[in-house]
């Protein structure tokens, strides 16, 4: 029987250590191997110059290293970069690099397509294809780092990760957690939990567990403060209505001095009224949060429009006067379909 090779990029350090020991190798080898395989651009066991040749040969016999290489790269006029990756089975995913003056943020995908069907989001029109492996999630980070290095990198690398790309992260929970643990491991990418944000449209049963397993930031795609409107925009609300979602927000194990990010896409005539703002204030009472207003990125595929600037600012002022830190996200990468809700392969 031919033994199937294992993709080492899928393994956390404890998992790699157990696998290495199963080959009768010393545990310290796992730490060496782990550090090597998570160097951006690393692709061949032969590059491991401080590991004995017979160990490298054994690794090549038993394992392989997956790697994502962009099938296409698009650059926006505002500096945003969108990567399209063709996976081994032919599926396509996208991730987005958002450069700013003092940092680079990478928007990472967790699934091929999305099953949530939010009716203002292009990704939802694709339907759900499959979950990404941990290696495919981490591979997006590796590929962005290689791209930056090839262009001089501006010294910043990737500073922040946001799981706001294609898919609902909490529906790919095990692979999400494994990928985050790999990304946070000091011998890999050494990301702080403060620099990682996981966004959910409201998978209530997994929210608390996320915070218990990894100390990351939580973003909640709310987009409406009443069940009737949210039912219309986001089918998940019929399964986990607002009351359950907001209760889960209150119970989320937030690290000290951190707050949940409430994402609110403003749609003209749908959820942008002063009354909607006041209701949002009421519903968020007692939740340690800040609010991120996202003026809608109009698409010919949907009947929604962006509110005018005066309406957006009036809405924002109601939230601020109630004591909420309220951010206004500027749309980035819309000319290459890389803005929020536009990733569709």
Q: 97 with 106: CB under 8 angstroms?
A: yes
Q: 264 with 293: CB under 8 angstroms?
A: yes
Residues 6+ apart with CB under 8 A from 164: 107, 108, 197, 199, 219, 340
- Strands annotated E in the chain: 6-7, 63-64, 70-75, 81-86, 92-99, 104-107, 111-113, 128-131, 160-163, 196-200, 217-221, 260-266, 289-295, 326-328
The two structure tokens encoding residue 194: 């403060």
The two structure tokens encoding residue 295: 């003026």
Indicate if 340 belongs to the active site.
Answer: yes
Active-site hit among 114, 118, 289, 340? 340
| Nearest-10 Cα torsion for 148, 154, 159, 162 | -50
Q: 328 with 293: CB under 8 angstroms?
A: yes
Task: Tell me how far apart the terminal alpha carbons of the chain are, to the nearest angstrom.
Answer: 38
Distance from C-alpha of 338 to C-alpha of 148, rounded to nearest angstrom? 18
CB atoms within 10 A of CB 313: 12
Q: 330 with 323: CB under 8 angstroms?
A: no
303 DSSP 8-state letter: S
Active-site hit among 94, 136, 168, 263? 94
Q: Which residues are catalytic?
A: 94, 340
């Amino acid at each position: 029987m031919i033994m199937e090779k294992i993709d080492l990029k899928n393994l956390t350090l404890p998992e790699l250590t157990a696998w290495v020991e199963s080959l009768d190798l010393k545990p310290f080898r796992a730490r060496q191997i782990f550090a090597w395989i998570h160097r951006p651009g690393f692709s061949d066991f032969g590059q491991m110059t401080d590991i004995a040749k017979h160990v490298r040969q054994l690794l090549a016999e038993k394992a392989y290293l997956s790697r994502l290489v962009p099938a296409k790269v698009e650059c926006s006029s505002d500096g945003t970069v969108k990567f399209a990756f063709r996976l081994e089975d032919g599926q396509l995913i996208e991730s987005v690099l958002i450069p700013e003056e003092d940092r680079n943020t990478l928007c990472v995908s967790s699934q091929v397509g999305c099953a949530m069907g939010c009716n203002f989001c292009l990704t939802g029109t694709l339907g759900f294809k499959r979950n990404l492996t941990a290696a495919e999630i981490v591979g997006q980070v590796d590929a962005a780092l290689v791209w930056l290095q090839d262009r001089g990198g501006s010294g910043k690398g990737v500073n922040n990760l946001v799981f706001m790309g294609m898919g609902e992260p909490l529906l790919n929970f095990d692979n999400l957690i494994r990928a985050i643990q790999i990304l946070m491991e000091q011998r890999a990418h050494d990301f702080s939990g403060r620099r990682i944000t996981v966004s959910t449209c409201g998978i209530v049963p997994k929210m608390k567990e996320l915070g218990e397993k990894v100390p990351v930031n939580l973003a909640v795609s709310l987009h409406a403060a009443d069940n009737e409107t949210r039912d219309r925009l986001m089918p998940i609300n019929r399964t986990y209505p607002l009351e359950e979602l907001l209760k889960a927000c209150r119970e989320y194990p937030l690290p000290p001095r951190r707050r949940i990010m409430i994402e609110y896409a403003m749609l003209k005539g749908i959820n942008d009224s002063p009354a909607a703002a006041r209701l949002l204030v009421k519903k968020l009472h007692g939740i340690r949060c800040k609010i991120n207003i996202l003026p809608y990125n109009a698409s010919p595929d949907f009947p929604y429009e962006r509110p005018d600037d005066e309406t957006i600012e009036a809405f924002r002022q109601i939230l601020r006067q109630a004591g909420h830190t309220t951010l206004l996200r500027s749309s980035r990468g819309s000319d290459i379909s890389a803005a929020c809700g536009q990733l569709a392969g």
